[in-house]
Structures are given as C-alpha cells and as structure tokens.
Amino acid sequence: MRRMVLVLVLLIAGGARAADEKKPNWGYFDTPKLPSGWRVHDINRPRPPVVTPGAKSGAAPSDAIVLFDGTDLSNWVGTKQDNPKKKKYNPTGAALWKVENGYLECAPTGSIMTKQTFGDCQFHIEWQTANPRQGASQNAGNSGVFMMNRYETQVLDNYENRTYADGMAGCVYGQTPPMVNACRKPGEWQSYDIIFQAPRFEGETLVSPAYVTVLLNGVLVQHKTEILGPTSHKKRTAYKAHGKDVIALQDHDNNTRFRNIWIRELDLMKDDSKPE
C-alpha cells in the first residue's frame, strides 16, 4: 500500500512537472547553469519579495542629454526590414513608434535605437504597461533597455504577475533577478535609473566586464551587478569585443509606453584619486 502511495505521489509530481514544462514563461528545468548554481530562467529560483515604491521620480539634471522630451523621435532610429512579407516591415529603418500625449508607444515595427552611441552612463527612463494587463508572464508589457545594444534591463508588467526570477522587471535578463519586486500596478508610470559601466577590452580580450546598478521606482534592485555577457534567451553567452554602441528599446510585441528619457555620459573607471 505504502509503495502504491509513493508511486502515486511520484506520478503526480511528474505530471505537475510536465504541466509546468508546458508553461515555459514560468521558467525552465533544462537550461545551462549560471555561476550562481541556478539554471538560466530557473523555474525553482525564488522570486524576490515585494516592496511598495514611493510616489515620485526624477527630472533631467543640467548635464543630461535629453533623448526623448515627449515631442518627437529625432534622436532615434528604427530597425530596417525591407521585406514586405515580414511582420515588422520597415523599409526606411525610421523609428516608427507612436508619439502622443508626451509619451512614445511601442509599435510592432522593430526595436528603436538612439542615434548616438554611449559607454558608461547614468540613464533615466519612465515606462507604463497596459491597463488592463494584456497577456501574462513574459507577454505582459515586455520591453527592455539594451545598453550598448546588448545588455538588457528587463521592462515587464511584474505586478502580481508570475514569471521566472531572472526575467522580472529590474533583472539582468537571463542572469540576475532584481533584489526586490518594486513594481507599480499596470497603467501606472514607473521609472528606471540605470548606472551602467561598459565592459573594457584590450584587443579581443575582456579586461573588465560590464556592471549595472538599477533603481526601479527609486528602489535599488541591482547593485553593481556583474553582467556575464550579452543578453540572450535560454542561453549563456560570452563577451565579444566592441566599442561604444547605441541604446535600444525592445519591441517585444507589447504596447509599452515610455517618457522622460535622458542620459548622463560618465567615465566610471577614471582614477580621480591622485593629481594628474
């Protein structure tokens, strides 16, 4: 009898696991292991606790380059796609996202990129996901800020919306979950302040990885987190040498909105401790 119960329990557990495997947005069992010991998008990695953020976020300081002030996309380009049979047909490569009421809204025309390239920086952006929520898990308000067109800080409607920990808002996607879940409700404006230290290369050799610090709605969610390589899905990646590059906002087929985007260029590896 005891043996039968054990077999039954194992069968149920196996069935639950099989059912979970059919919901890949909740996580995975079969992806490569990270140095932390967790798998990429590990379904069993604990979700960070919830913190309710305060009410306000920030305006641009005097030395900032304003990338979007609510009026136009003159500082941005789009993703060229000159095959009319493709879903994201965009023959000119212009930034085709919608601008209205002081915000820009992702349109299914491909990701948009800054015209200017950047390295180390402090970056501010505000974002809003649809209310009511459309889709679930990774399909709810998904976008992302890609520093140097490679390293994503995830944008996602993560308010009471379960997904894998390293895919949550404020994560280094596929690598490091946010320290807490500081998301506001769908339809509320949220903010990111991202301090990004670019990777350094000597020739083809990596001499210093990228690091990122992120505040979500004023709450620290990443603290000088080492970035392990360019962002990917279900994979680990390795650095390849590159110089300054554009910042991209991801088109993930969700109508996420953005406003008040500014950047301060920095040199975070400059040694100011001694006279010249």
HEC secondary structure over the chain:
CHHHHHHHHHHHHHHHHHHHHCCHHHCECCCCECCCCCECCECCCCCCCECCCCCCCCCCCCCCEEEECCCCCCCEECCCECCCCCCCCECCCCCCCEEECCEEECCCCCCEEECCCECCEEEEEEEECCCCCCCCHHHCCCEEEEECCCEEEEECCCCCCCCCHHHCCCCECCCECCCCECCCCCCCCEEEEEEEECCEEECCEEEECCEEEEEECCEEEEEEEECCCCCCCCCCCCCCCCCCECCEECCCCCCCEEEEEEEEECCCCCCCCCCC
Q: Interface mask (CB under 5 A) for Mg ion, residues 183-222, using x and -?
A: ----------------------------------------
**Nearest approach, Cβ of 155 to Mg ion (angstroms)?**
6
**Residue among 144, 178, 186, 230 that touches Mg ion (CB under 5 A):** 144
3-state DSSP call for residue 169?
coil
**Nearest approach, Cβ of 202 to Mg ion (angstroms)?**
31
Which residue has the CB atom at the shortest distance from Mg ion? 144
**Nearest approach, Cβ of 146 to Mg ion (angstroms)?**
9
Q: Is 142 in the site for Mg ion (CB under 5 A)?
A: yes
**Nearest approach, Cβ of 138 to Mg ion (angstroms)?**
8
Q: Interface mask (CB under 5 A) for Mg ion, residues 230-259, using x and -?
A: --------------------x---------
CB distance 43 to 31 below 8 Å? no
Q: Is 153 in the site for Mg ion (CB under 5 A)?
A: no
Would you say 75 or 254 has its CB closer to Mg ion?
254
Q: Is 48 in the site for Mg ion (CB under 5 A)?
A: no
Would you say 114 or 158 has its CB closer to Mg ion?
158
Stretch that binds Mg ion, among 12-20, 139-147, 182-190, 220-228 (CB under 5 A): 139-147
**Nearest approach, Cβ of 19 to Mg ion (angstroms)?**
25
**Nearest approach, Cβ of 130 to Mg ion (angstroms)?**
15
Residues that bind Mg ion (CB under 5 A): 142, 144, 154, 250
